[in-house]
A and B are shown apart, each in its own frame.
Chain A
Amino acid sequence: MYACLYIPSFPAQAVLRLQPDLRRQPVVILDGEAPRETVLSTNMLARRLGLMSGMTRLQTESFPQVHSLRRSQTQESVTKGALLECAASFSPLVEAVQTIFSNEPGQAVVLDIRGTDGLFGSPEALALKLRKRAGAYGLLANVATSVNFHAATCIARGVLGVNSIRAGDEAAALASLPLDVLDLSPEMADTFRSWGIRNCGMLAKLPERDLVARVGFEGQHLRALARGEHPHHFVPIEPDFRSQLIETIELEHPVELLEPLLFLYARLLDQLLVRVQTRSLAIASIEVQLRLDGHANDAQLHHTRTIRPALPSEDSRRLLKLVQLDMEAHPPLAAVLAIEMRIEAAKPHTAQHGLFLPQGPEPDSLEVTLARLKKLLGEDRVGAAQLLDTRRDEGFVMRRFAPPPQRNGLIPEVAANLPAAFRVCRPPLAIGTTLHGNQPVAVSIDRESFDVVTRAGPWRRSGEWWSQANWCREEWDVLLSDKATQKVCRIAHDPSSHCWYLVGTYD
């Protein structure tokens, strides 16, 4: 048993899939070199106006309400991948069928649905689900089921909606369909037209021997197709689900502002989310690649950003917010011509929180908050500090803040002696120092004078003498006093540059 998923007017649907606002308007897809472009594909509304494939651009411009769009082979390729992925979610045996001679190019995918009754029910039920799934992917599809591969394909090409053909009824189902569904060559179409053969039923009634004698074995092949009896050797393909998670959209005009792009990001993201959710997965990372306008240099032709949420997420709003914040923090250098969004799928995060464990921030909310904070303060100003094994001041690096899972709250023991906290002066503040016997006796910090009441030092520190980043200095712990206040500070002297500076204050 086979099911054929057929997408009529495939070039038009591939372009309109991510532009739902254009679906309600007549649209033609132009192909070829300007100015000799011709219509490749049309949507239903355009066909009702009389537009058809093969018309020139000049002819289409005589219809003022018609939108003329350029063919996008990139979007067709991406849509074909989505179509295969849609079919593969119903059956592991999938074969793509390409129309060759049809005036209205479509894309067909045939599934071997033997043994899927337990999962999806009868062939009719499966066909309905398949069409609904294709609709979720933004594609209007015809679905036909039959025991004959070619019969299912021809019926899907010729009949709108869902059709389920019982075994033995193929010839009757095909009888009323025009010969175009057989994807016959123009020469054969002219021949049959001259004979007065207009549909499959008339072709099926022709005597086989006489037909072969006049048009050769191609006639025999077409007759078997029209009778629903032509055998087929099924050659399944294995679509790679993870590599197909791409959506792309090409813009008619360069877009510079972020707000219009956000709508497009949302469409791409929603479409990708639908695709991963059909597999019960979530989005682990998003890579946005923008093709820019006005840059001859290849290095600047694309602007690529990768957003990795802390946990795989299915929340499109939060994901879109992350994309927005990242794009605001790293805007493209030129107007955008095309957007390609590629995602990685992963299993959704599940966590079992304990009743008595301290509650932490929600990972999704925390991710958005961190992105906002990075935009507010700077990329390297938000995170968790990680100490380094060094004696140098500022011996730490900022890491991404990802708190480990909560554990059972054990109250730590109270330390008998708490260490004296130190407040660092970043960057170290240059100070003036009065020395007496090589020891500081007065300090001037930011035009304020302090007497050094007590001092301890110098404590000599140096390091990394083996590299260019070598450093050396002498430190003093001093109790500074003026008329009103006293404070304990750490001051340092660079013996090489003879500079004194304030390292920080004990607090």
Chain B
Amino acid sequence: MQSAALLRAQLEVSLAERAPSAFTLKVRQAPELLPTGTPGLDVLLGGGIPRGGITEITGTSTTGRTSLALSILARATGQGAVCAWVDVQDALDPETASAYGVQLERLLWLRAGRRSIGMQQPPPASPAGSHNEKTRSHPYNAHEATQHTGGGHPRHEHRSMGHAVTQLFHSPGGTLQAKRSGSTERLIELAAIGPRCAEPQPHRRKLEQISADRLPPRRGQTVLDGRANHRIEELIPEQRQFFSSGRPDGKAAQRGNPKSPLGQALSATDLLLQTGGFRAIVLDMGDVRADHVMRTPTSYWYRFRLLAEQTQLALILLTSNPCAKSCASLVLRCYRNDENSPWRGDREKALFTTLRYAVAVERRRNEEIGPLHKKPVARTTTEWQARAPWAR
């Protein structure tokens, strides 16, 4: 035994330049934790999500993924740390984030994908009946709509009144000023300005049908449900841009051909991880189809895990299905608890008030376990609820 130990020590010394402590088991330090802001989940996780690793928050729509991520960021920015939100589909609502307590000046928001329409742009929609045969025009015109039952929503109270009054009296295009100046043309113009029409729905071109068995297999195809199993050719252009580059990193993209939103988001996340100094980075892929996310090369997640470990930040992935595989330190599955209705009041005057969520821990890698023993993880669940802003 002594000779074996001696031999081992000699080998370790000779290999020290290439691999320090080659035969010594590395003692894993317990990671620092970032509280989630939901007491039940913090208790379940032993304090929060781990820093220096990847945490996946998965689930379908209305399962509390975004709420959970915002709650984590609210705690982090509240402590004075700097965080980032990488938005693949530009879905973050800053108003909601502010309601959660996220300090927006400490949150770097990266909006990949489509260009924003800006707050002055009209809401797009197709002309009535052009999109769907069942679509019908609303029976109320603008005048009748003001007579409709149902008043203003509680969430819209006492906002921008000061600005409205100022604009009313001082704006060059204000109605009163036009009346005062006697500009009939201006009044006619004001009356004639139509509502902002919606964006027309892009025309879908029918292409040749190819049977599914003739298509090459794709990574992540097994997680597709039947509803989402479209072919690329059938997608509308906005969806098709996820395939615009051969790889999500956009290496196959030609000059002048921008990267896909997912590729942009991954590159942006990479840059942020290399910069360091952030407490948490949320990569929001919540609305991206599962097969697109699954097609991301695994090397991305390995690199992200390594960089997160070096910079001691919590990388949070919001996805519909787990995608980081073994690179994820923690995987949380979100559900919606259907036992209680989120609606209050009768059918005629219902009010959306509360959403109840459940979170299950699917996998944890940073538990206090022995160096050579793998402890089976039991599925554990906790519940929490989120209220609508007007119901608090």
Contacts and interface: CB of A to CB of B under 8 A. Distances in A.
Q: Do A and B bind each other?
A: yes
B156 interface: yes
Contacts of A391: 156, 159-160
A472 B109 CA distance: 29
A213 interface: no
A49 B260 CA distance: 61
A497 B125 contact: yes
A417 B354 CA distance: 9
A494 interface: yes
A460 B387 CA distance: 21
A125 interface: no
B340 interface: no
A446 B238 CA distance: 12
Interface stretch (B11-19, B23-31, B163-171): B163-171
A403 B82 contact: yes
A384 B73 CA distance: 14
Given A471-B196, A494-B198, A376 B160 contact: no
A377 B111 contact: yes
Contacts of B287: 423
A499 B79 contact: no
Given A394-B118, A460-B151, A384 B107 contact: yes
Interface in B301-336: 336
A457 B349 CA distance: 8
A381 B110 CA distance: 6
Interface stretch (B131-139, B209-217, B365-373): B131-139
Contacts of A497: 125, 127-128, 194-198
Given A412-B74, A461-B153, A421 B93 contact: yes
A474 interface: yes
A485 B290 CA distance: 15
Contacts of B193: 468, 470
Interface in A379-421: 380-399, 401-404, 406-412, 414-415, 417-421
A412 B78 CA distance: 6
Contacts of B350: 454-456
Nearest to A398: B109
B35 to A, nearest CB: 8
The CB with the most chain B CB atoms within 10 A, among A434, A484, A488, is that of A488
Contact of B153 (A380, A396, A399, A459): A459
B46 interface: no
A377 B264 contact: yes
The CB with the most chain B CB atoms within 10 A, among A420, A474, A485, is that of A420
Interface stretch (B2-10, B59-67, B240-248, B292-300): B59-67
A504 interface: yes
B277 A366 contact: yes
A134 B26 CA distance: 57
B90 A410 contact: no
A444 B141 CA distance: 23
Contact of A474 (B99, B145, B278): B145
Nearest to B128: A498
Chain B binding site: helix, strand, loop or mixed by DSSP?
loop
A506 B200 CA distance: 25
Contact of B142 (A378, A386, A402, A496): A496
Interface string A91-110: 00000000000000000000
Given A470-B193, A475-B153, A496-B195, A432 B132 contact: yes
Given A479-B342, A507-B63, A457 B150 contact: yes
A280 to B, nearest CB: 27
Contact of A392 (B109, B114, B119): B119
Interface stretch (A166-174, A195-203, A255-263, A355-363): A355-363
B80 A389 contact: no
A460 to B, nearest CB: 6
Given A428-B124, A495-B138, A496-B195, A487 B60 contact: yes
Given A377-B268, A394-B119, A468-B173, A426 B79 contact: no
A465 B167 CA distance: 10
A430 B107 contact: no
Interface in A318-339: none
B339 interface: no
Given A485-B61, A494-B195, A495-B142, A421 B67 contact: yes
A346 interface: no
Interface string A467-507: 11111111101010011111110001111111111001111
A426 B110 contact: no
Given A394-B118, A427-B114, A361 B75 contact: no
B33 interface: no
A487 B164 contact: no
Contacts of A408: 80
A454 B71 contact: no
B190 A468 contact: yes
B135 A373 contact: no
Interface in B243-259: 259
Contacts of A496: 141-142, 194-195
B20 interface: no
Interface residues of A, number: 114
A159 interface: no
Contacts of A393: 119, 123
A498 B137 contact: yes
A423 B94 CA distance: 10
A389 B162 contact: yes
A459 B138 contact: no
B237 interface: no
B111 A417 contact: no
B93 A422 contact: yes
A407 to B, nearest CB: 5
Contacts of A435: 136, 138-139
Nearest to B351: A456
Contacts of B64: 421, 507
B9 to A, nearest CB: 38
A174 B289 CA distance: 88
A215 interface: no
Contacts of B150: 457-460
A387 B94 contact: yes
Contact of B276 (A361, A425, A473): A361
Nearest to A386: B104
A381 B80 contact: no
A369 B62 contact: no
A221 interface: no
Contacts of B338: 486
Nearest to B122: A471
Interface string B329-363: 00000001010011101010011101100000000
A386 B135 CA distance: 37
A424 B91 contact: yes
Given A390-B160, A456-B351, A384 B108 contact: yes
Nearest to B100: A419
Contact of A357 (B37, B80, B132, B141): B80
B227 to A, nearest CB: 7
A442 B132 CA distance: 12
Contacts of B92: 423-424
B21 interface: no
Contacts of B225: 484
A297 interface: no
A149 to B, nearest CB: 56
A427 B117 contact: yes
A62 interface: no
B267 interface: yes
A266 interface: no
A162 to B, nearest CB: 48
Q: Can you list the 4 inter-chain pairs with the closest CB atoms, starting with the nearest?
A: A432-B132, A499-B125, A361-B277, A496-B195
14 contacts: A358-B81, A377-B111, A387-B95, A418-B38, A418-B387, A419-B389, A421-B67, A422-B93, A427-B117, A459-B150, A466-B176, A472-B142, A496-B142, A499-B128
Given A376-B271, A377-B111, A381-B116, 9 more contacts: A376-B268, A388-B119, A472-B145, A484-B225, A497-B127, A498-B127, A498-B128, A506-B62, A507-B62
